[in-house]
Structure 1
Amino acid sequence: MKTQKLVTYKEIANILGVSRQAVQKQLKGKISSGEIKIKMQGKTEQIIYNSLPKDIKNSLIQARKNAPASAKKIIDNPKKDINFEKELWAAADKLRGNVDPSEYKYIVLGLIFLKYVSDSFYQHREKLKLMFSDPNNRKYFIPDQSAREKMLEDKEMYRRKAVFYIPTVARWEYLREKAALPNIAEYIEGAMEAIEKSNPEQLENVLPKNFVRLPLEANIIGELVNIFSKIKFDHDTDKEKDMLGRVYEYFIGQFANAEGKRGGQFFTPRPLVKLLVEILEPFENSRVFDPCCGSGGMFVQSTRFLQEHHQDAAKIAVFGQESNNTTIRLCKMNLAIRGIFGQVLAGNSYYDDKFPDLRADFVLANPPFNAEWDPDRLTEKDPRLMYGTPPASNANFMWIQHFIQHLAPNGMAGFVMANGALAVGGKEGKIREKIINDDLIDVIIACPPKLFYNVGLPVSLW
C-alpha cells in the first residue's frame, strides 16, 4: 500500500512564503467541497498532498527551488522537524571555536533576534504594500507610487502593530548579501546600532555590538548569518509556535549548559518555570513581577499559559529587575521576540528596589541561592524586613520577604528556593516561623536532583 504524503497549512505557507491564513483562505472552498482530502492528527488538519490543486502544487515546486533547506524537508518528509533546533545549535556551536560561551551567546542570540525583527518587519511591510496599492481600500489606498514608497518607511505604521521598524541597513536580506565580505562584522554592528536608534524606547543599549572585537573570523560570522537564514518565521501565527521563539529558548538553555555554574544566572529549567506558572495560573490584566528575572523565562511562560487557556497574552503587565546588565539585554531580546512589552530595569534588588510601590498579583522568581549580602545597607524601617533581618552570610530569607512585600492583598508568589531554607535555625529559623504562623505558605514541593546546570544542591518550590 502506497504511503500518503501529508502536509499542514503552515508547511505549505513556509514554502510559498505566505501566511498560514492566506493558504487556508485559498483552499477553504475546495476543502469544504471535498476536492481536497484531509486527515486529523490530534487537533491538526493534515492535507493529502496529491489532492492539492495543480496551481498550488506547481507553486510549491517553483518555490521549493528557492526555499531554505529546512522548508524543503517538508515535501520530502512532511513530518514535523522536531530536531531543527538541535541541528541549528550543532552548526552554530561548531563554529564557536575557542570563544567563551558567555561572549558567544550574545553574538548568536543577537543574530536570532535580528532575524526575528527583520522577518516581522518584512511581513508587515508586505501587508502595507497590499493596502496602499488596493484601489478598493478607501482608507489606505495611495495612487502615487513614490508616495506609497515613502509611507512604507513611516515608522508609525509599524509601531501601531507592535512591529519594530527596521532601517534598510539592518534588514536581513541586505545583511545576507554581505555575508561573504571580510567586514561582515562591521555591517552587523551597524545594523544593531540602526535598530536601536530607530526603536530607542524598547531597545536602547540592548543589542550586542561586539562582533568586531571578538576573535571570530569573518567567514564564521557570515556562516552564522547563512545558518539562521534557514529559519522561516510566520508573524501571523501564535508567537509561541513560531520557529524563532523555539530556537531562541533552546539556545538559551544550551548556553546555560555550556557555561556551567555561570549559566544559572540567566536560566531556570523550563519544567520548574512551567510548574510554578501552572500552579499560580496568571490571568488577563494581572501584574507579574520577577525581581531576579534573568533571561525572562517566567514572563514568557506566563504569557504562554494565557495563550494555552484562550486568553489574550497581551493583557498582562510584566515587571522585572536584574542586577546583571548583560543578562538584562538578553532578557529584553527574549521578551521582544515573544511580543512581550513591560518594564525590565537594572539594579540590585536588595539595595535598590526599582519597584518599591509595586503590589503584584503574581511574583515568580528563581533567586540566587545562599548568596552573601550586606544588611547594614538597609535601615531597620525597611518594610521588607517585617519578619526580621537575615544574616549577612545568606540572603535566602531576604528574598522571601522581598517577594511577600511586593504582593497585592490577594496576590500569590511561587519561587525556587534551596532546601536549606526549610531547616535552618537561628535568625532565619525565627523568620521562617513567623511566616508560617501568619499562614502565608500554601505548599512546598520537593524537586528531584540535578535539575540545574549550575548547582547540585537540592531545591524546592514554595
Structure 2
Amino acid sequence: QLKDVIPKIYTKINLSPDDLAYLINIFSTIDFGDGHKGKDIFGRIYEYFLGKFTEVEGKKGGEFYTPRSLTRLIVEILDVKEGRIFDPACGSGGFFVSALEKLEREGKEKALLSIYGQESKEFVWKIAKMNLAIRGAEGDIRIGDSYHDDKFPDLRADYVVSNPPFNDSGWGADRVKDNDPRFKYGIPPESNGNYAWIQHYIYHLAPNGKAGFVMANGALSSGGIEGEIRKKIIEDDLVYGIIATPEKLFYTVSLPVSLWFLRKSKPDHMKGKVLFIYAKKMFKPISRRQNVFTEEHIAKMVEKFRMFEAGEPEEKINEVGFAKVATIEEIRKNGYVLTPGRYVGIKIEDDGIPFEKKMEEYSQQLYLLLKEEEKLTEKVREVFKALGWEV
C-alpha cells in the first residue's frame, strides 16, 4: 500500500543507538488506554502535526489541508455510510479520515467504504496515502491533474467531497476538448476554474449520489459565463443546500467561504427547493487567526438538513436569520444568486421593552442631542465673529 510513498532513506536516521533506544522506551511506556485503538491514537498524532505544519507553512500548507471541523460537517450532512467516496482534489485525505471516523462511531466496518482520490502533487499524494495507512484503511489514490487528466473517467460515486483550489486562474480552458462530457453546462472562463470543479463533481455523481464541497463565495453570485452555468445547474434542480460560513476557518485564508451540497436526484418533497443556512456568526475562536465549528454548531446545522430531507414542515425548519427553505422560483427572482443572506432574513432581537416606551426614550435622547447641537452651533458662530467673520 505504501509502495513509492515512504522514501528509501527512511531507515537512515541521524540518531545514535542510545538516543534511538531512549526514544523507543518513551513510546513503549505511553499508556494509550483500553478505550483507544493504537492506530487511532497515531492517526490523531499525524493529524495534529499536519495541522501544525499547515499553520507554519501558511499558504503552501493550506493547499492540502482542510480544517477538521469543515470535513466533519460536510461528511455528517452527506451522512456518509457504505459506498464509494471520491475526492478529486484530495490533498492530505482529510475528508476520507472524517468519513472513516463517522463509520467507526456508528459501529460500521471501514471496508464498507470504497475510497477514491486524485491529487496533482506527488508530495501531497504521499501524505494522503500515509494518512489512510496509519488508520488501517486503503484507497485508490492517484496522481494527476483533475482538470485535464481525469484518472477516474468511469467512476460514479455515492459521495463526492472536496476542497479545491479557489478561483484558479489559468486553469487551462483552452485545453478542454469540445466533446468533454463533464462540461455539459458550459466551459468556465480561463480566469476562474470554480465551475470547472463544480461540473467535475456533478459528472462523477452516481444516479443517487450526493456532493458536498468547499467553494469560494464568488461562485454564489458571479455573472457572465459562470452565472449562466449556475443558472442551468439550479434549473436542473441539483443544488439542495448552501451554507455561508464565518471567516478564519482556514489557517491561510481569512475570508469566509461557502459550502455547497448537490444531489443528482431529489426525493419528491425536496424537488424545486434549496436549504440555505447562514452560519457566519456561528464559530468558536481557538486563536487570533482561526475559528472552528464546535460539535454543537455542527449538530445544529446537520439537524436542519435532516429535517429538510425527512420532509418536515418548512415552518419547523425555517429560522429567521439562520435557516430558510427557498424555492427555485424565489432563487429565480433573485437572479439565480445563491447567497444565503438573501433568503434567511434578518433576526430582530426582542428585548421585551414596549414600542411606546422605546419611542419615548428615543425622543428624549433626540431632544437632548438637538439642544446640544444648538449650543455648539452658537459657540462656532462666536469663534467666527471673534475672527471678524459673520456666519
TM over 0.5: yes
Query: In the aligned structure 1, how far is the partner of 2:112 from the partner of 2:78?
Result: 17
Matched, 1:334 2:131: yes
2:232 counterpart SS class: helix
Q: CA deviation at 1:208?
A: 3.3
Any conservation in 2 of the 1:256–1:267 contact (CA below 8 Å)? yes
Summarize the Cα distance change of 1:450–1:217 in structure 2 as closer, same or farther, 3 Å threshold. Answer: same
Which position in structure 2 is the counterpart of 1:353?
150
Find 1:313's aligned residue among 85, 110, 132.
110
User: How is 1:93-242 mapped onto 2 (pairs within 5 angstroms)?
Assistant: 202-209=1-8, 218=15, 226=23, 229-230=26-27, 232=30, 239=37, 242=40
After TM superposition, give the deviation of residue 239 of structure 1 in Å: 4.6
Name which of 43, 54, 62 aligns with 1:256. Answer: 54
Query: Which whole-Å CA distance do the structure 2 matches of 1:240 and 1:269 have between them?
Result: 23
Q: Structure 1 residue 302 and structure 2 residue 99: aligned?
A: yes
In structure 1, the partner of 2:213 is: 415
SS at match of 1:384: coil
Please report the TM-score for the alignment, with normalisation by the length of structure 1.
0.52
Q: What whole-Å deviation, never above 9, does each CA across 1:319-378 have from its counterpart, x for those lacking one?
A: 000001000111111100111111000000001000000000000100010112111211
**Structure 2 spans left out of the alignment, 5+ residues:** 261-391
**Residues 1:251 and 1:429: Cα distance change in structure 2 (over 3 Å):** same
Tell me by how many angstroms 1:401 deviates. 0.2
What CA deviation, in whole Å up to 9, does each residue of 1:78-137 have, x standing for no partner? xxxxxxxxxxxxxxxxxxxxxxxxxxxxxxxxxxxxxxxxxxxxxxxxxxxxxxxxxxxx
**Which residue of structure 2 aligns with residue 385 of structure 1?**
183
Counterparts of 1:371-450 in structure 2, within 5 Å, are: 371-372=168-169, 373-450=171-248
- State the one-letter code of the partner of 1:298: F
> Structure 1: which amino acid aligns with 2:217?
N
| In 1: Cα distance, 2:201 partner to 2:184 partner | 12
Q: Distance in 2 between matches of 1:273 and 1:228?
A: 35
Matches of 1:344 and 1:235 in 2, distance apart?
32
* Offset, 1:403: 0.2
Q: 1:228: Cα distance to partner?
A: 9.2
Structure 1's 210 and 224: CA in aligned 2 closer, same or farther, altered over 3 A? Answer: farther
| Equivalent-residue separation in structure 1 for 2:33 and 2:151 (angstroms) | 33
Candidates 49, 67, 72, aligned match of 1:269: 67
- Counterparts of 1:443-462 in structure 2, within 5 Å, are 443-462=241-260
Determine helix, strand or coil for the equivalent of 1:444: strand
Alignment partners' CA distance in 1, 2:227 and 2:240: 18
Distance 1:315 1:375, change over 3 A: same
Q: Secondary structure at the match of 1:404?
A: helix
* Greater fraction of residues in helix: 1
Letter paired with 1:244: F
Contact 2:32 2:38 (C-alpha < 8 Å) held by counterparts? no
Provide the secondary structure at the position in 1 that maps to 2:110.
Answer: coil
Cα offset, 1:242, TM superposition:
3.1
**Partner Cα distance (2:68, 2:38) in 1:** 14
The share of aligned pairs that are identical, in percent, is 54
CA distance in 2, matches of 1:224, 1:249: 25
Structure 1: 5+ residue stretches without partners: 1-201
Query: Do the aligned residues in 1 keep the contact of 2:40 with 2:135 (CA within 8 Å)?
Result: no
Q: Please say if residues 239 and 338 of structure 1, whose CA atoms lie closer than 8 Å, have aligned partners that are also in contact.
A: no
Question: Does the Cα contact within 8 Å between 2:39 and 2:134 map onto a contact in 1?
Answer: no
Give 1:412 shift.
Answer: 0.1
Alpha-carbon distance, 1:315 to partner: 1.4
Cα distance in 1 for partners of 2:113, 2:134 equals 16
Bigger share in strand: 2
Q: Residues 224 and 334 of structure 1: is their aligned pair in 2 closer, same or farther, counting only changes over 3 Å?
A: farther
2:283 counterpart residue number: none
TM-superposed deviation, 1:457: 2.5
**Distance in 2 (alpha carbons) for counterparts of 1:393 and 1:399:** 14
In 2, the alpha carbon distance for the partners of 1:331 and 1:400 equals 22
Distance in structure 2 (CA, Å) of the matches to 1:249 and 1:224: 25
Distance 2:176 2:40 in 1: 45
Cα deviation for residue 210 of structure 1 reads: 5.7
**Cα distance in 2 between the residues matched to 1:281 and 1:269:** 19
Q: Tell me the residue number matched to 2:164.
A: 367
Name the structure 2 match of 1:72. Answer: none
- Measured after TM superposition, the shift of residue 223 of structure 1 is 6.9
Residue 88 of structure 2 corresponds to which residue in structure 1? 291
**C-alpha distance in 1, partners of 2:203/2:233?**
12
Q: Name the larger-Rg structure.
A: 2
Contact 1:233-1:242 within 8 A present in 2 as well: no
The separation in 2 between residues aligned to 1:288 and 1:233, in whole angstroms, is 34
Q: Which amino acid aligns with 1:313?
A: K
Deviation track 1:192-229 (CA, whole Å, cap 9, x = no partner) reads xxxxxxxxxx111101346699xx9657x957982895
- Distance apart, 1:452 and its partner CA: 0.6
2:371 alignment partner in structure 1: none
- Give the drift of 1:241: 7.3
Give a deviation string over 1:297-322, Cα, whole Å, max 9, x none: 11111111111112112211000000
Q: Distance in 1 between matches of 2:21 and 2:246?
A: 37
**Amino acid aligned to 2:43:** G
Taking a change above 3 Å as real, the CA distance of residues 291 and 239 of structure 1, as seen in their structure-2 partners, is farther
Which TM-score applies when normalising by structure 2? Answer: 0.61
Q: How many angstroms does 1:455 deviate by?
A: 1.6
**Contact 1:322–1:347 at 8 Å: present in 2 too?**
yes
Distance in 2, matches of 1:430 and 1:268, equals: 29
